[in-house]
Structure 1
């Protein structure tokens, strides 16, 4: 795929010249059901103007339904959607002034790249010359102005998705909605386009809602992430907050890599392998404890919290992750320097850094 050209540095690009500060987006007690099945349970969300917020969660958690309610493609049973303080809950999609990019590119095969990009403008009554100029500006943002006369079948998947992004941006929407737009792309192109979307969003200052099940994508581009589970928002916060201070065991297991071991909680602390660790939330009694691999370390026998046997060790470039089966039968992953290479069957000793951990009471 051809590398994108740099973003224009001047106001010669109409989209950049007219870039604003974004629009506030609010969900107020949104509930949505399909028949007897409740999909969204009183979702509340307040997105600041110009903020990039990801809705992150497993399949079936309600994140795409929430996005479709915001877009007007679905209507909430209860609650309100506000754009810029205005209730748009019953406003048709074509009057909400939003741009959308889906997983499927949905380009018109009979139109060239410029025609696909300008389509929304022409439907809005923009003159041919003005639409063509603005389409080229949008294509310049995504690095495809040199491809304006090509047709979709002449483009790679990544290039087609760039056209879809340009088409969403060309109408200068108040809000940009992205519904898993990268999941059909290969890994390298996915990272390139992910970073490109973030750069463009920052340049335009457009409020953006990004739906994904990929935690790495969400962590890489978001100002804040709303982690969803079973139609509810478990926690919303910055990537750092969610990773370092997960409010629930679900968030701890979904954001980053964790090993689950048994512990006994007493208020704000939990005993694990004879060590007392602070918890992110009070609990009492038998609990599951989520340990991050970077907070487990190899040590000498005298300082060990537990011991075990190496079952596998994976080289990941600058680091290595080693799976250890402890003497109690629990399996934990240890993240460590790549130069250390424990061998299969080796007996090792582990200790735990005294950092807050997420716990979940056993049922």
Structure 2
């Protein structure tokens, strides 16, 4: 596992909304050697993670990698088999969920259908014995924060899926928790709404300065909103770093395969470089030797008029500002090429491709 410096950023403040006016700068979150067993099955293998105050960290990985289990351990919904969870300087490993001062948003909205929107948001405040007038004021402030104050008197069934998820977010924020936990909150929404709400969550998080841990299997979501991303695989963190670091300098083949779109092509490792179709490319990570598979990004492959490697077009897809074309080389490698939309190719055309000399990840040939 590699570490990287935590980015520092200014957190905007405003006095227009009581939530924003009273917002702090977040709480540090730490996992120290977290192990989680379900019977004989170990799901988390000594997880270590340090989230800085006010930081937005995503746990990214495929289904079954342990990311949701880690979040549930942080929330107190699961008891770790070993290890310690810290919020600030306090060990909360044995503290029940309702005393950890966290807000949670799940994939399912879990709104009370018989309560108005404003009453759904106020529910947690009233359970904390906050006066009704104060709870109503803070609930309207929370709804204004997510852009739904004009729908305060509606019922959940009168809202769209995106609006319901915004209500769930307002409900999580209204108690002014120290930490916000998001467990795949966007996966049930359609693509356009998902992007809009994703960006809105990030905007709100920056304005509040609240420490946020976001679980997702969608790499685009993680890349778009995170300060840092922890890529998980089989209960362990493969790499943690900024979105740019993970995409441009993946530490392991697993990270390269999961983050971003790559083609696997054959190569020969030569220490700090690898030779692919006569080209020498720098290796990201440890030196290698012998036959390897090389991860090549589509944006680093070009169609060229001369030289290059001969290939045959298998398909070409128009994606607005660019095309993504799949070609097959003489050695059988299937390679994706990202190129200007003006460069049109058709099925079975003979083309030539070249790879830009950017660092690549490799793994021993299987």
Provide TM-score, normalisation by structure 2. 0.95
Q: Following TM superposition, by how much is the alpha carbon of 1:229 offset from its aligned partner in structure 2, in angstroms?
A: 0.6
Match of 1:296 among 301, 317, 332: 301
Partner of 2:347: 344
Partner of 2:134: 130
Paired with 2:183 and 2:120, the residues of 1 have a C-alpha distance of 19
Q: Are 1:308 and 2:311 an aligned pair?
A: yes
Paired with 1:182 and 1:31, the residues of 2 have a C-alpha distance of 28
Paired with 1:288 and 1:31, the residues of 2 have a C-alpha distance of 33
Paired with 1:144 and 1:27, the residues of 2 have a C-alpha distance of 35
Q: Are 1:179 and 2:183 an aligned pair?
A: yes
Paired with 1:180 and 1:88, the residues of 2 have a C-alpha distance of 24
Paired with 1:192 and 1:229, the residues of 2 have a C-alpha distance of 29
Bigger drift between 166-175 and 144-153 goes to 144-153
Paired with 2:112 and 2:72, the residues of 1 have a C-alpha distance of 22
Paired with 1:12 and 1:272, the residues of 2 have a C-alpha distance of 58
Match of 1:206 among 207, 210, 214: 210
Partner of 2:112: 108
Q: Are 1:272 and 2:266 an aligned pair?
A: no
3-state SS, counterpart of residue 39 of structure 1: strand
2:13–2:207: 8 Å Cα contact kept in structure 1? no
Match of 1:166 among 165, 170, 180: 170
3-state SS, counterpart of residue 334 of structure 1: strand
Paired with 2:77 and 2:189, the residues of 1 have a C-alpha distance of 25
Paired with 1:9 and 1:44, the residues of 2 have a C-alpha distance of 32
Paired with 2:311 and 2:44, the residues of 1 have a C-alpha distance of 44
2:13–2:21: 8 Å Cα contact kept in structure 1? no
Q: Following TM superposition, by how much is the alpha carbon of 1:12 offset from its aligned partner in structure 2, in angstroms?
A: 3.1
Partner of 1:223: 227
Partner of 2:262: 258
Partner of 1:81: 85
Q: CA RMSD in A?
A: 1.1
Paired with 1:15 and 1:72, the residues of 2 have a C-alpha distance of 25
Q: Following TM superposition, by how much is the alpha carbon of 1:267 offset from its aligned partner in structure 2, in angstroms?
A: 1.8
Paired with 1:211 and 1:285, the residues of 2 have a C-alpha distance of 37
Q: Are 1:64 and 2:100 an aligned pair?
A: no
Paired with 2:83 and 2:252, the residues of 1 have a C-alpha distance of 26
Match of 1:239 among 239, 243, 260: 243
Q: Following TM superposition, by how much is the alpha carbon of 1:300 offset from its aligned partner in structure 2, in angstroms?
A: 2.5
Partner of 1:332: 335
Cα deviation digits, residues 281-316 of structure 1 (max 9, x gap): 222221110000111111123x21x11100100000
Paired with 1:273 and 1:79, the residues of 2 have a C-alpha distance of 48
Paired with 2:167 and 2:80, the residues of 1 have a C-alpha distance of 31
Match of 2:32 among 28, 34, 38: 28
2:246–2:259: 8 Å Cα contact kept in structure 1? yes
Paired with 2:92 and 2:120, the residues of 1 have a C-alpha distance of 28
Match of 1:42 among 32, 46, 49: 46
Q: Following TM superposition, by how much is the alpha carbon of 1:278 offset from its aligned partner in structure 2, in angstroms?
A: 0.7
Cα deviation digits, residues 323-344 of structure 1 (max 9, x gap): 0000111100000001111111
Cα deviation digits, residues 149-182 of structure 1 (max 9, x gap): 1111111111100000000000000000000000
Structure 2: segments with no counterpart, 5+ residues = 1-11
Paired with 1:214 and 1:85, the residues of 2 have a C-alpha distance of 32
Paired with 1:175 and 1:113, the residues of 2 have a C-alpha distance of 23
How many pairs are equivalent?
Answer: 354
Bigger drift between 170-179 and 270-279 goes to 270-279
2:315–2:326: 8 Å Cα contact kept in structure 1? yes
Paired with 2:120 and 2:226, the residues of 1 have a C-alpha distance of 28
Paired with 1:9 and 1:156, the residues of 2 have a C-alpha distance of 30
Paired with 1:159 and 1:300, the residues of 2 have a C-alpha distance of 51
3-state SS, counterpart of residue 137 of structure 1: helix
